[in-house]
């Protein structure tokens, strides 16, 4: 076992840590408001995407046109991630958070009344930008306000944005379409949650000064490069499978321009004295390795709900109401399991790297079990698999957050928040593109093989038609099994990388004050 890592000391040029705010019930409720707002951001994206067929039918859009509604939201969300923490400091956390949340809720309220596709795409992109500004504030607030004895529980709450919100969205989408019988609730459901979040955050988060002089030192050239660069990358990744990648001029232009702008943005941030995100932090082993693993982990985690729901929809025409159980099985336990992992990390005998490894093993076993999928599988066959995912995800994510954030100073928290949330948003879109392309390629490959085998048989025409349907079904099953095997191997490959991270001892919790003598 390697020696415990020493937390780096601040340099002489570093700013002093922010003044300490005593942790009170009022502050706790303020942080709860920021947590709810971050969940609003995730639900804004996921729920609307799940009911997209209902939206396009109600507004009269084609499926191709409607697909851009999710793309522009994701593009706006990612474009905001690197810059949100910097602006939250400059304009004060409470003011910036309140403005962004209010705008996101306002856009959610008016979107169902917009019937022009061009205007709807603009509003949806702006909603994504405002919502994407909310998630980095959550980690920033947890690192700033939570005392050491409960800080890991704050990181567990942040982990809910990756483990709870995307999964519970299935149940909310079902409620919107099947129970409320009104697709508009796919957008409106966040309004009561967001108003509660706004009131709690405005009441509970302490007032902080506005630091307008920071505007003179901002890396505005980097921002001008980063926003379009990241947005164009999302467009290429999100629309690549549908438009057939390099056979589309839109994808070629988006990928080329996005890569160039993003590269220039990274160079600009690296060289600028006051960057929005301090990329030099990635030179620290736990941050560089941990965030790289996190990027791949996000792709791996999508196998818990996305793949089973897509497969059962294709094989058995399942509706959202039937598939919502997947999101509930994985999502609801996260409300408890994240804090359970945090409690374990406070124990001196626990090594966070081994908890991380255990989480990866759970997901590897789940994926390997899923690789035995057949066309007869129903929901009950997935139950033990979903339980393993529900256990493995918090073990991996919360442990990764602990290992990464333990090697930074409090004043570096906003930089870490910007980096990890940018990787989180990019990893989600990248993972979706990888899964879509892999399934498309392997399905086509298996279909061609099965068709070749069928051609060797001398069957009547009506039997060939039935056989074609069976070939399509079996090709989907085989392609899904292939990607599950790839994910299982990916989880196992990540384990030695995790074990190469530096050991971090359990946080030292201050002892309670001794009672005064009479």
Consecutive 10-residue averages of pLDDT for the chain (518 residues): 44 43 84 92 85 82 87 93 93 93 94 90 94 90 85 87 84 81 86 94 90 90 94 93 88 94 95 90 89 89 85 84 86 90 92 94 94 89 92 93 85 85 87 86 82 64 63 85 93 94 82 53
Rg value, the chain, Cα:
24
Q: What is the pLDDT of residue 17?
A: 46
Number of helices and strands in the chain (H, E): 20, 0
**Per-residue model confidence (pLDDT) at position 450:** 76
pTM equals 0.88
pLDDT at 518: 45
Q: Residue 111 and residue 271: Cα distance in Å, rounded?
A: 40
- Cα–Cα–Cα angle for 108, 304, 362, rounded to 5 degrees: 140
**Residues 97/205, Cβ–Cβ less than 8 Å:** yes
CATH number of 278-508: 1.20.1250.20
Which residue, among 505, 89, 466, 504, has the nearest Cα to 285 in the 3D structure? 504
Tokens read off for 222: 């980097």
Q: Domain 24-207's class?
A: mainly alpha
pLDDT for the residue numbered 465: 61
| 261, 381 contact by CB (below 8 A) | no
Angle between the 379-405 and 352-370 helix axes, to the nearest 10 degrees?
160
Q: How far apart are CA 366 and CA 123, in angstroms?
A: 39
Residues 6+ apart with CB under 8 A from 464: 454
Residue 324 CA to residue 320 CA, distance in Å, equals 6
pLDDT given at position 11: 37
Give Cα 302 distance to the centre of its chain. 10
pLDDT at 9: 42
């Amino acid at each position: 076992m390697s020696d415990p890592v020493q937390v780096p000391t601040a340099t002489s040029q570093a700013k002093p840590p922010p003044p300490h705010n005593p942790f009170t019930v009022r502050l706790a409720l303020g942080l709860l408001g920021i947590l709810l707002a971050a969940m609003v951001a995730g639900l804004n994206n996921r729920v609307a995407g799940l009911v997209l067929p209902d939206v396009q039918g109600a507004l009269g859009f084609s499926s191709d046109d409607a697909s851009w509604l999710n793309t522009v939201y994701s593009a706006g969300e990612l474009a905001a991630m690197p810059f949100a923490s910097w602006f939250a400091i400059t304009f004060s956390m409470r003011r910036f958070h309140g403005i962004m949340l209010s705008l996101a809720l306002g856009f959610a309220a008016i979107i169902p009344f917009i019937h022009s596709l061009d205007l709807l795409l603009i509003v949806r992109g702006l909603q994504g930008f405002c919502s994407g500004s909310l998630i980095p504030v959550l980690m920033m607030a947890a690192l700033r306000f939570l005392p050491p004895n409960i800080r890991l529980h704050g990181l567990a709450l942040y982990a809910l944005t990756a483990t709870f919100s995307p999964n519970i969205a299935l149940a909310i989408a079902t409620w919107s379409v099947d129970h409320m019988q009104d697709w508009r609730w796919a957008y409106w459901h966040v309004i009561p949650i967001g108003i509660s979040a706004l009131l709690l955050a405005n009441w509970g988060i302490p007032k902080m000064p506005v630091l307008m002089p920071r505007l003179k030192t901002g890396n505005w050239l980097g921002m001008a490069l980063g926003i379009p660069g990241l947005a164009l990358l999302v467009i290429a990744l999100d629309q690549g499978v549908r438009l057939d990648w390099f056979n589309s001029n839109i994808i070629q232009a988006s990928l080329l321009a996005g890569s160039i702008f993003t590269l220039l943005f990274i160079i600009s941030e690296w060289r600028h004295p006051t960057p929005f995100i301090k990329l030099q932090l990635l030179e620290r082993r736990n941050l560089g390795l941990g965030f790289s693993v996190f990027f791949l982990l996000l792709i791996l985690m999508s196998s818990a709900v996305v793949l089973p729901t897509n497969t059962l929809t294709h094989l058995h025409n399942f509706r959202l109401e039937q598939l919502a159980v997947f999101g509930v099985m994985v999502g609801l336990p996260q409300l408890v399991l994240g804090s359970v992992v945090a409690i374990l990390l406070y124990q001196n005998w626990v090594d966070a790297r081994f908890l991380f490894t255990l989480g990866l093993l759970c997901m590897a076993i789940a994926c390997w079990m899923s690789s035995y999928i057949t066309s007869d599988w129903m929901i009950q066959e997935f139950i033990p698999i979903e339980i393993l995912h529900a256990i493995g995800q918090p073990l991996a994510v919360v442990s990764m957050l602990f290992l990464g954030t333990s090697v930074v100073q409090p004043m570096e928290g906003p930089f870490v928040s910007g980096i990890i949330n940018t990787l989180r948003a990019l990893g989600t879109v990248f993972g979706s593109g990888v899964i879509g392309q892999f399934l498309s390629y392997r399905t086509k490959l298996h279909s061609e093989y099965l068709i070749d085998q069928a051609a060797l048989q001398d069957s009547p025409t009506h039997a060939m038609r039935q056989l074609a349907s069976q070939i399509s079904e079996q090709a989907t099953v085989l392609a899904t099994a292939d990607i599950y095997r790839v994910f299982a191997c990916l989880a196992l490959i990540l384990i030695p990388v995790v074990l190469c991270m530096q050991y971090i001892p359990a946080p030292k919790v201050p002892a309670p004050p001794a009672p005064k003598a009479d």
